[in-house]
Structure formats: structure tokens, C-alpha cells
Homo-oligomer: A and B are copies of this chain.
Amino acid sequence: MLEKLFSPQAIALIGASSHPEKIGHEILQNLITSGFKGPIYPVNPKPGEILGLASYPNIKAVGKPVDLAIIAIPADYVIETLRECGECTVGSAAVISAGFRETGHEGLLREIEMAKIANYYHMPILGPNCLGLIDTITPMNASFAASMPLKGEAAFMSQSGALCTSIIDMSFAIGLGFSRFVSLGNKAHLSELDFMEAWADDPDAKVVMGYLEGISDGARFMDLARRLTKKKPFVAIKSGSTSAGSRAVSSHTGTLAGSEKAYEAAFKQSGTIRAGSIADLFDFTEAFVMQPLPQGDRIAIVTNAGGPGIMATDAIERNGLRLAALSSDTMNSLLAALPPAASVINPVDLLGDALADRYKEALGLVAKDQAVDAMMVILTPQTMTQAEDTARAVVDISLESKKTILACFMGDKNLKAAQKILKEGRVPNYIIPERAVAVLKVLCEQKKWQDTPVQTYERPNIDKDQIRAVIDGARKGGRSELAEAEARQIISSCGVAVPTSKLCKSQQEAIDFAEEIGYPVVMKVASPDILHKTDIGGVHLDIMDARAVRDAFDLITFRAQRYMPDAEIWGCLVQKQIKGDGEVIIGMNRDPQFGPLVMFGLGGIYVEVLKDVSFRIAPFSKDEALEMISEIRSSGLLYGVRGSRRLDIDAIADTLIAVSNLVTEFPEIVEMDINPLMVFEEKRGVMGLDVRFVLKL
């Protein structure tokens, strides 16, 4: 769909200008100097030449096929012009002009019109309110960015145009090149989703980078990201994720920023790598572009200085990576090769007087060790240090070895030449050990993600007809909140056990049922009109005998009639009182961007005070459900600590995926929770005690 946008044969610039201070001039100049090989048609109402090219009064007047129209004219004329482009079968368009949703409602309506035109004419439209796009492969600079970035293997998109200018400028400093560089603007038609889709199969894009403020369609984002990230790394900054930041986003563009928790879950579940800053974006991308992914997380450090070796070691431990335990063969060979004061235990310390050949020999030995997955070469510029020769040695080893190598040549002025050699030899350099380790961490995660098979989302059997009937019944009655019996019926239909219970219309019926199921029992008022039963004394616990059942029945119905005289009272619900071995909570609400966000936590204070909960976006797999359970801090309590037995983790996970499935199938459920879900010892299952559902009416 984006071929015409990225590989146009001919480009028209509508709004081309001969005034050097106009954007329409700048873009034309960029188009010409970028080396674009096809014809460029400047369009301007005034006749004449611009920058040596014949100008056309309008797009129709061009009279030749145009694959890409760049539009840089006042907002008022954009829609009309786009329609003309459509009529002339222009292949694609990029609207640079501002003055759309960022200025208010009328602007938003214009964008809706724009999307209609794009769909009607099958003419993809980038923008509006963007910097344009750059393609170093074609090549073409269809933007008003001051410089064209270096050619390279990273594809970049940004929802902030201004950030593009900073990113290009910074990219020169580290020598990072781009294949494609896109300013998304207001995303009236094309959004990050289209580029994620296009770049998944683009051989020129080894890494996809993004700066995102809001995401256009959470569910499609997840699908596309999952597909993309199994093939190549997708590194993204998501800003506006704190509450203060979201307010700033709203004043900046029109996108509603999803909640931070939903984003975290979405990125994690889709293998999207979250960059905390532009520094992360660059650092991660450099390594992905230049080096292979490590096979595992065992890191060897080779250094000419103890201090930085320790810093790296600290960082490795903090990041959950492992310091490789070198084989005794390797250590013996190192012992033979290195001076006696050197350390042959990882971190391998070559000492301050290490010359390039000592680095080369040691690195070669370490690289061959089966117990090493990745290497970090640290160099401090000491008196005898041969920085450039050492850089060449590192590059040689990197070319020979299939293992990941990152350099940490710690310095600036004295190491510039060496750092250049490393970069040209495709060994990324980080002057701070902690940065190199942060990068290794991300490389390991990407490898693990790519190796994990695509998750399948189990669809446990749920009785859809029954659930549909319950939901429709409530909606017909105009009730957004389900009555207890209805809620229990729904989760039963999903295969979640609920306590034995019966709606009893008389004292005697209640006593008979209680005797049948055995004490203790719980009794609750049964009424479609009473939702907050506890508030009116409508719930009695610990009922131990027939007399207590009788008393409870009368008290409950008497009070219900007194406090809510208009309520229809069906009687009392009598229920077996359950004592579990543990209590958990499963909840769900709908995130505006990603849809059903399922929460898991232990009951009571663990959720309320400690906020010790985990989230996933439904649907998710059983493996993901098990991860959800294990990642809360208090999960130890479920696995059996302090002499307590392990609880039925498997049954909790099954309940989580049943909920995942339910809320995916029934989008009218906007909120639900099972609180508590009683959990028994291993193999003994779970039971949903209280269940609450809120429907969209």
C-alpha cells in the first residue's frame, strides 16, 4: 500500500515557492538535493520557474502520472487540493500543512474528510501537520528537515515533527543511519500501524524505531507489533504516559493517551521494546543494527581497569544478566597468556599496561568459550594504551566471532579515533559501562522473545448462549449492573466453580437446603433491586444451625422491606460458606486504546495498600496468565512459603484465561471482578465467591 509513498517515480510539490523563507521552497530544495531521480513538478498558481523547474498552476495541469504529492499550502485549501489529486489518480500524498485537529473541532472535521478522500481514491495520505518523509534508499527528502540523515538500516517514525529534527541532528554524532524516516503528524489517515505493517517485511529496515504519543487502535497495534517483533526489533518511546504527561499530550495533539498500565502490558505482550528516552532509542538501535543477538545472557568482561569492570559487574547483576563463568580451559590459557598480576576470572583484568595484542589474545580466548554468550570490552585511556590498535583488534574478533561484542572505550578526545574505528567495524561503543549493560539486557530480551513461539490464545469452552441470554436479560431490564445470581451464572458458564447455593422463598426451604449442604452457610437477601446488600444488613455469615437460619431469614427480609419498601424481595440466597486456603482477585476494565485490561492480585491489603497487581490485555495465553501470577511481589504466598502448601496456581491461570476469553467475546462487559476468588491447595481448584459485572447499556 505504501510503495507509491516510499518509491515514487514522480513527485509533485503543491505549494512550491520561490521565496527562500517558505516551507514550500525548502522542501523543493531538499527534493532536488536529495538525489531524487524522477521528475519533480512544482505546483504554484503563479506561472514561471522555481529553482530551475517549470511550475504548474495546479495538479491537473501537470498532466503526467504523479506517485506522491507533497502538500504545503494553507489548511483551507488542502481538502479541495487532495480531491483534485484523487481525481488525477495521484498515488499518495503527504500533507505538511498545519491547521487541523490541533486547532479545534473544525480541523478535526477536515481530517475526517481527508481520511474519506484517501479511502475513496485509494490514495494513502501522510499527515497533516507533519515534517514530511525521507527515504535514503530511493533516495528522496520530501520534508523540510534541515538535513538528510545518513543512509542506514533503521526505519523511524515519529508523532512529533520537532523531535525528528533533533533525532536527525543527533544521529550524525553517533553515525546512525536510517532507511526511512517518517513524521506522522496528526495521523488523519496513515498511522504508526501502517508503517509497522510495511516495515515488518521491508528488507531495508533491520530495526523499527518509533516515537509515539498515542496509539490509533490498540488491538491492531498488538497484532501488528507481535508480527513485527518476531522478525525484527521494534524500539519505541511512548511519552505522555504519566498523568501529567497525558495532559500535556492532549494540549499537543488530539490523541487520548492510554493508561500507563495498559501500555506496559501491551508493550510486554507484543515484544515492543520500550525506550525510556532518546538515549535508549539510539543506544539500543545501534546495537541491533551492528551486532548479532546473543544466544544467552552470560556476559564476559575484558578490561584494562578494575574500577569500570566492577561497575559493569554491578550493572550486570542489577539487570538480571549473568557474569559468565569461564571454563577452566579458557582460564588456563589466559593464565599462560597474561602477566601474573592479571585477573583471569571474569571480569578479566588485563591490567593498565595492556597493549592491543594482549586485548586481542584474551578476547580471542574468551570469544571461543562455550560458556560465554556476549562480550564487553572495556578500555580506559592509560599511558601505554594503544586505543586505535585495540579498536582494530576488537573489530577483528567481532568479524571472526558470531558472538555479540559491545565496546566500552571510556573517553572522548583521546579515544575519538578508536571509537571511529569501532563504529566503522560495526562494534557499537558506549562510553559508560552501565549503558553497555542496559543494551545487552535488551539484546538478550529480544533474542528470548524471538525464540518464544507465538502464543496461542486458548479459547476455553464457554457457554456463549447462556451468557448471551443473561446479558440480554439485564440489558432489556435497563440494568447495567448484574444481580448476584446472574453474575454467578455467567462465571459458571465459563467453567469457574461457584459455591452451592439456592434461592429459598421461605424459612423452611432455607433450613432444608442448609441441612442438605451442611453448615456453616451464608445467607443473602435475594432481590433484583438491591445491589449493595451489606449496607442494609442483607448478608449474614457463619450461620451454624437451623435456628440461626430461621433468625437470619426473618431479619434479612424484614430489614430489606423496611429499608427498601419498593424493592421486590425474592427471598434469601442460601450458600455454602467456603473457607479457602488463599484469596485472590481477578478484575477487568476496558482501556480506551487497548480494550480489556485484566488485573490479578492477592486479596485485601495486597491490592488495596500494596498495589501489588499485574496486568495483561485480553486475550492472552495460559503462559502469560502464569507469568501474571508469578510477577506480583507477593506471589511467594501462592507458591507455598513459611510451611504453607502450594496453592492451585493452575486453576487460577485457567480462571484468568476464562475471564480473558469472556471479556474478549463479550465487549458489552465493561467492568468485572471476582473478589475474592477462593483458592485451595494444589489440584483442589478455585471458587468464585463474589462476582460483579458492569455492562454497557
Selected from B245, B318, B383, the residue in CB contact (under 8 A) with A26 is B383
Residues of B within 8 A of A248 (CB): 306, 309-310, 313, 347
Determine whether A336 belongs to the interface, using a CB cutoff of 8 Å to chain B. no
* Min CB gap A430→B, angstroms: 10
Best-buried of A311, A317, A434 by chain B (most CB within 10 Å) = A311
Selected from B244, B610, B634, the residue in CB contact (under 8 A) with A316 is B244
Do B163 and A345 touch across chains, with their CB atoms under 8 A apart?
A: no
Do A277 and B432 touch across chains, with their CB atoms under 8 A apart?
A: yes
Selected from B242, B317, B343, B642, the residue in CB contact (under 8 A) with A242 is B317
Determine whether A173 belongs to the interface, using a CB cutoff of 8 Å to chain B. yes
Do A240 and B169 touch across chains, with their CB atoms under 8 A apart?
A: no
Residues of B within 8 A of A380 (CB): 162-163, 165-166
* Min CB gap A118→B, angstroms: 24
| Bound-state Cα–Cα, A641 to B605, Å | 9
List 18 A-B residue pairs with CB atoms under 8 Å apart, sorted by A's residue number.
A102-B341, A162-B352, A165-B411, A166-B308, A166-B380, A166-B410, A166-B431, A169-B410, A239-B310, A244-B317, A244-B323, A248-B347, A251-B306, A251-B345, A251-B349, A252-B309, A277-B434, A608-B642
Determine whether A447 belongs to the interface, using a CB cutoff of 8 Å to chain B. no
Do A161 and B352 touch across chains, with their CB atoms under 8 A apart?
A: yes
Interface residues of chain A, those whose CB is within 8 Å of chain B, are 21, 23, 26, 102-103, 144, 146-147, 158-163, 165-166, 169-170, 172-173, 211, 213, 237, 239-245, 247-249, 251-253, 276-279, 304-311, 313-314, 316-318, 323, 341, 343, 345, 347, 349, 352, 380-384, 410-415, 431-435, 604-605, 608-610, 612, 633-634, 636-637, 641-642
| Bound-state Cα–Cα, A308 to B383, Å | 41
Do B162 and A307 touch across chains, with their CB atoms under 8 A apart?
A: yes
New A-B contacts (12) at CB < 8 Å, excluding given A170-B411, A244-B313, A252-B349: A147-B413, A158-B307, A160-B307, A161-B305, A162-B304, A163-B305, A169-B411, A169-B414, A173-B412, A244-B316, A247-B313, A605-B641
Do B244 and A314 touch across chains, with their CB atoms under 8 A apart?
A: yes
Do B277 and A433 touch across chains, with their CB atoms under 8 A apart?
A: yes
Do A310 and B610 touch across chains, with their CB atoms under 8 A apart?
A: no
- Complex: chain B residue closest to A240, CB-CB: B310
Residues of B within 8 A of A146 (CB): 381, 383, 414
Do A608 and B412 touch across chains, with their CB atoms under 8 A apart?
A: no
* Min CB gap A383→B, angstroms: 6
